[in-house]
Amino acid sequence: MNGKGPGSRAGKSSGRGQRDLRVRVKTAKGRKLSSKLWLERQLNDPYVARARREGFRGRAAFKILELDDKYRFLVPGARVVDLGCAPGGWCQVAVGRVNALGEKQGKAVGRVVGVDLQEVDPIAGAEIHQLDFLSEGADDLVKQWLGGPADVVMSDMAAASSGHRGTDHIRIVALVEAAAQLAFDVLEPGGTFVAKVLAGGAETEMQAMLKRNFDRVANVKPPASRSDSSEKFVVAQGFHGRGIAADPDQQG
């Protein structure tokens, strides 16, 4: 860097105004305005540009990076399962942080398993499987692939959008609840569950369920999450273990 800030004389000498610093996308004939706005947002998103520079498969990688910077659950030696892992950005982050490739000398070597309904391109240091996590026996398969119970279960999954905000909220809450149920089956006591939800009013029961089963439950919107998005992330830490029933009706 040469120290020439946006207000310096050198910064003004090009004759370009602030408006020229943004990439503009012309609306092609037949292109929907929403598509044009989405493309323009992508081209001007600093996290998208940073993901390209740093070799991540998408901007979502920075969401899990920021969450882990705050809550420190992706530690060397941890066993991690990423549900709905496509395109793989969260797995890429986990590989580096849990030392899955053994590149951090003197640190424990972790393990990362990603599962998704669709095929995902290989990721160095991660074991990727095409699997419906809702299927019978999925929990046993996950533990088999991990070589034991998980320390972290994480999910950036979102249900297919219906275009109706209320419906989409209910669907993603149901998806998070299902992911949490798998987490109860595969997590080691003391483990962490991280999942994306949409802000709304239908997650009260899901939040209560997590609070019964974990020591601490936080709801966070990391900086990488777009300000106009209703998404947030729940980070539940200190899993009580399989002896604590996930369903309140089963508790004595």
**What is 153-217 written as a DSSP string?**
EEE---PPP-S-HHHHHHHHHHHHHHHHHHHHHHEEEEEEEEEEEESSSTTHHHHHHHHHHEEEE
- At 209 the pLDDT is 95
* 90 annotated among ligand-binding-site residues: yes
Cβ neighbour number for residue 79 with a 10 Å cutoff:
25
Strands 231-239 and 187-198: antiparallel
Q: Please state whether 98 falls in left (phi above 0), alpha (psi between -120 and 50) or beta.
A: alpha
Residue 176: inside a domain: yes
Determine whether 196 is an active site residue: yes
Residue 2: inside a domain: no
* 45 annotated among ligand-binding-site residues: no
* 249 annotated among ligand-binding-site residues: no
Catalytic-role residue among 196, 211, 221, 232:
196
Residue 8: inside a domain: no
- At 186 the pLDDT is 98
Residues of the domain holding 191: 58-250
Residue 144: inside a domain: yes
- Alpha-carbon distance of 218 to 209, in angstroms, equals 13
What is the dihedral sign for C-alpha 251, 242, 81, 117? negative
> Which of 196, 193, 195 has its CA nearest to residue 215?
193
- At 24 the pLDDT is 40
* 228 annotated among ligand-binding-site residues: no
Residue 7: inside a domain: no
The CA R_g of the chain, rounded to the nearest whole Å, is: 21
Residue 17: inside a domain: no
* 185 annotated among ligand-binding-site residues: no
Residue 139: inside a domain: yes
- At 191 the pLDDT is 98
- At 67 the pLDDT is 98
Per the structure, how many domains does the chain have?
1
Residue 22: inside a domain: no
Q: Residue ranges of the chain with pLDDT lower than 70? A: 1-45, 47, 51, 159-166, 200-202, 243-252
Domain of 208: which CATH number?
Answer: 3.40.50.150
Angle, vertex CA 114, rays to CA 86 and CA 41, nearest 5 = 25
- At 214 the pLDDT is 98
